[in-house]
Amino acid sequence: MPLIEVSDLVKYFPVRGGVFNRVIRQVHAVNGVSFAIEKGEILGVVGESGCGKSTLGKLLIRLLEATAGQVLFRGRDISNLSSAQLMPIRRQMQMIFQDPHSSLNPRMTVGAAVREMLAFHEIVPKQEIRAEVDELFSKVGIHTDSKEKYPHEFSGGQKQRVGIARALAVNPEFIIADEPVSALDVSIQAQVLNLLMDLKDEFDLTMLFISHDLKVIDHFCDRMLVMYLGFVVEEMPCRDIHADALHPYTRALLGANPSADPTQRHELTVLEGEVPSPYDLPVGCPFAARCELVTQQCRHEMPPLVDRESGHRVACWEV
């Protein structure tokens, strides 16, 4: 049984307006997304800003309520649980955010921020909290002398380590990492990715790793979902995405990514046109307006996400 199973997840954000403040239209953020994550697996979610990848992460942990669809955690539907019923499950799911600065309380020392997690969830007896904080800090590579410092005294990479320590404090099984390395410099990004990889093995973690950076997803994840306009357009293993990717949008993302090798200069793929409005979704394929391979069928009929071979699913009529 997969650890996480998501079926037909939908999220609309109502936009209110007019004299009676009625719902005048809906932002279609996530449009019927289904996938599963096996225990110990890292699933990447990649896409451009506004494609619904962060919303998807928040729906999984119920920081947002889904409009429709189900999230099963170890086979149990958590979409309708009360907050009291949800509490023990929340402890098993933790989130790491993009901007470690805004996710830490500036008036709380980093030690206190981690202590709070341990005390609130009653992870260890009171007298062992201090020792546990020290251990967590040493695991994420922060000197234990630093624990009485405030967030502003740390660099971005160190703050992200504190965010990771806080997430790990409750011994979670499942981590949602929303752009955890996007705000970091490349050398620090490498440190944090290595740390996440080590911790994944040590704590036997399962992860949903959200990023706009295909290079990082390709390197770090076992499988990935490619999202466009709230739809999953491709789902595939990450072993060799340059060779395996099929969907024209995934190919365009790959082609637009500048390679750090000046001997391989290539004409960067430039997508013409703009992303369609999430208020009125197109009838056919969401990518039809910008796709090179577009046909009449694409404009009128939504392609289903079809299994091509072991775990590689593509939503396209033409490839």
Residues that bind another protein (CB under 8 A): 48-49, 155-158, 185-191, 193-194, 197, 212, 214-216, 218-220, 222, 238-243, 248, 251-271, 274-275, 292-293, 319
Question: Smallest gap, in angstroms, from Cβ of residue 228 to another protein?
Answer: 11
Question: What is the token pair recorded at 300?
Answer: 């009128």
Question: Smallest gap, in angstroms, from Cβ of residue 47 to another protein?
Answer: 9
Contact in structure between 284 and 267 (CB atoms under 8 Å): no
Q: Which is nearer to another protein, 107 or 265 (CB)?
A: 265
The HSE-up count of residue 11 (CA atoms within 13 Å, CB side) is: 27
Scanning the chain, the segments in alpha helix (DSSP H) are: 53-60, 83-92, 100-103, 110-120, 129-139, 156-168, 186-203, 214-220, 241-244, 248-256, 296-300
Q: Which is nearer to another protein, 6 or 291 (CB)?
A: 291
Torsion (CA) 276, 282, 286, 292 in degrees, nearest 10:
-80
> In degrees rounded to 5, what are phi and psi of residue 248?
-55, -30
What letter would DSSP give residue 104? S
Question: Smallest gap, in angstroms, from Cβ of residue 118 to another protein?
Answer: 27
Question: Smallest gap, in angstroms, from Cβ of residue 91 to another protein?
Answer: 28
Question: Smallest gap, in angstroms, from Cβ of residue 272 to another protein?
Answer: 9
Q: Which is nearer to another protein, 3 or 314 (CB)?
A: 314
Q: Which of 64, 67, 77 is nearest to 33 (CA)?
A: 67
Q: Which is nearer to another protein, 145 or 261 (CB)?
A: 261
Q: Which is nearer to another protein, 48 or 116 (CB)?
A: 48
- Nearest-5° angle of CA 275, CA 264, CA 227? 25
Question: Smallest gap, in angstroms, from Cβ of residue 224 to another protein?
Answer: 12
Sheet of 231-237, strands arranged across: 93-96, 174-178, 206-211, 42-46, 223-228, 231-237, 312-314, 306-309
Neighbours of 44 (CB within 10 A): 27
Q: Which is nearer to another protein, 8 or 292 (CB)?
A: 292
Question: Smallest gap, in angstroms, from Cβ of residue 304 to another protein?
Answer: 20
Q: Which is nearer to another protein, 96 or 216 (CB)?
A: 216
